[in-house]
């Protein structure tokens, strides 16, 4: 396919490079980041999308997404599909979908899970909202960039799924780090703790696949001095989105709200910015009641 790719940062660049390596014609644009190998650099966002069958965006927030959409939708050819892979608020996703459909375009919101490692390895999971026909059009690209794509429903459903998933992730990571910190103070060896919990009722992705304790379990950011695979400030962003969504529909999410407060303190008032979200463990280990 002919693909326009807007947003070539830590996530977008490897995603675009994987599409190019798979034989697709990819034109990319970013206001600051370099163009990855195999991707043709466009002089503007409008130029990148002009001949594209599918346009993929990977942008920081909903406000920027809506601004970029307003620039590129008039330049896209009729019948093309705009597929946004950013993590944004549900209202922004739905607003962009309306803009695209009004212009005769397809539209998908398709946020991802898997972090920069998944983007590089082509093992992302896509949570997709939008028309089933548009999903079928983009499915071959999801298969290049990821290992799974789930059609979650109408426009906004992909963002809803991502927000709910990452609220669980934020809460369970804090619980996992609290448990390790408590085990330390009780004199329990971290490896023994992992051996028990990873095969018992405390099993979770945070423990088993992304263990926050260095030298325990599979290799994770904890083994790289918490260099981010998924930065704490991005977790804070997602938890903020979860609480905005909860407030908008009157959902009671006390654990999500508390996790948001912990990450806000860590990022805004402590040393969490630029560290992996699993760096909650040394934070909690150093604290006293």
55-92 tens-digit pLDDT: 999 999 999 999 999 999 999 999 999 999 999 999 99
Give residue-wise pLDDT tens across range 228-263: 989 999 999 999 999 999 999 999 999 999 999 999
- Give the mean model confidence (pLDDT) for residues 202-220: 97
Q: How far is CA 122 from CA 40, 59, 94, 141, 272, in A?
A: 20, 19, 27, 10, 28
Whole-model pTM: value is 0.91
Angle at Cα 65 formed by Cα 29 and Cα 23, nearest 5°?
40
Q: Which residue has 């330390």 as its token pair? A: 184
Give residue-wise pLDDT tens across range 41-59: 999 999 999 999 999 999 9
Mind telling me the catalytic residues?
A: 162
First to last CA, the chain: 57
pLDDT over threshold 80, residue 129:
yes
- Give the mean model confidence (pLDDT) for residues 91-103: 97
Position 229 scores a pLDDT of 86
Closest CA to 170 of 77, 280, 64: 280
Position 249 scores a pLDDT of 94
Distance CA 53, CA 59 (A): 20
The radius of gyration computed from the CA coordinates of the chain, to the nearest angstrom, equals 20
Q: Which residue has 């949570």 as its token pair? A: 127
Position 288 scores a pLDDT of 81
178 pLDDT tier (thresholds 50, 70, 90): very high
Tell me how far the alpha carbon of residue 229 is from its chain's centroid.
Answer: 11
Q: Cβ distance 58 to 12 under 8 Å?
A: yes
114 pLDDT tier (thresholds 50, 70, 90): confident
Position 247 scores a pLDDT of 95
Distance CA 40, CA 266 (A): 39
- Give the mean model confidence (pLDDT) for residues 121-140: 97
Task: Give the rounded percent of residues in the chain with a pLDDT score beyond 70.
Answer: 100
DSSP H or E segment with residue 25: strand 25-29
- Give the mean model confidence (pLDDT) for residues 84-101: 97
Distance CA 78, CA 162 (A): 29
Position 287 scores a pLDDT of 83
Q: Cβ distance 233 to 241 under 8 Å?
A: no
Burial of residue 43, with CB atoms counted within 10 A of its CB: 0-12 exposed, 13-18 middle, 19 or more buried: exposed
Domains of the chain: residue spans and CATH: 2-154 (3.40.50.720), 160-286 (1.10.1040.10)
Closest CA to 4 of 138, 184, 116, 175: 138
Position 115 scores a pLDDT of 85
Position 117 scores a pLDDT of 86
Position 157 scores a pLDDT of 97
pLDDT over threshold 80, residue 289:
no
Round the average pLDDT of the chain to a whole number and report it. Answer: 96
């Amino acid at each position: 396919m002919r693909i326009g790719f807007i947003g070539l940062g830590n996530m977008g660049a490897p995603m675009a490079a994987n599409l190019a390596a798979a034989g697709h014609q990819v034109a990319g644009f970013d206001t600051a980041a370099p163009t990855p190998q195999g991707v043709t650099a466009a002089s503007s966002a409008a130029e990148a999308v002009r001949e594209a069958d599918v346009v993929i965006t990977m942008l920081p927030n909903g406000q920027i997404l809506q601004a970029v959409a307003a620039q590129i939708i008039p330049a896209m050819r009729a019948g093309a599909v705009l597929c946004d892979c950013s993590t944004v608020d549900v209202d922004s996703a739905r607003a962009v979908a309306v803009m695209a459909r009004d212009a005769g375009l397809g539209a998908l919101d398709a946020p991802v899970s898997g972090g920069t490692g998944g983007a590089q390895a082509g093992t992302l999971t896509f949570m997709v909202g939008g028309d089933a026909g548009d999903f079928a059009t983009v499915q071959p690209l999801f298969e290049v960039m990821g290992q799974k794509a789930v059609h979650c429903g109408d426009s906004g459903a992909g963002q809803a799924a991502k927000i709910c998933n990452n609220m669980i992730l934020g809460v369970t990571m804090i619980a996992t780090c609290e448990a390790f910190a408590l085990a330390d103070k009780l004199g329990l060896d971290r490896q023994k703790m992992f051996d028990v919990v990873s095969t018992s009722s405390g099993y979770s992705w945070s423990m088993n696949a992304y263990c926050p304790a260095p030298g325990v379990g599979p290799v994770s950011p904890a083994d790289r001095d918490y260099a981010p695979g998924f930065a704490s400030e991005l977790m804070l962003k997602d938890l903020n989105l979860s609480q905005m969504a909860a407030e908008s529909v009157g959902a009671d999410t006390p654990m999500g709200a508390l996790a948001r407060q912990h990450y806000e303190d860590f990022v805004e008032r402590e040393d969490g910015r630029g560290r992996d979200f699993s760096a909650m463990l040394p934070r909690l280990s150093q604290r006293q009641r």
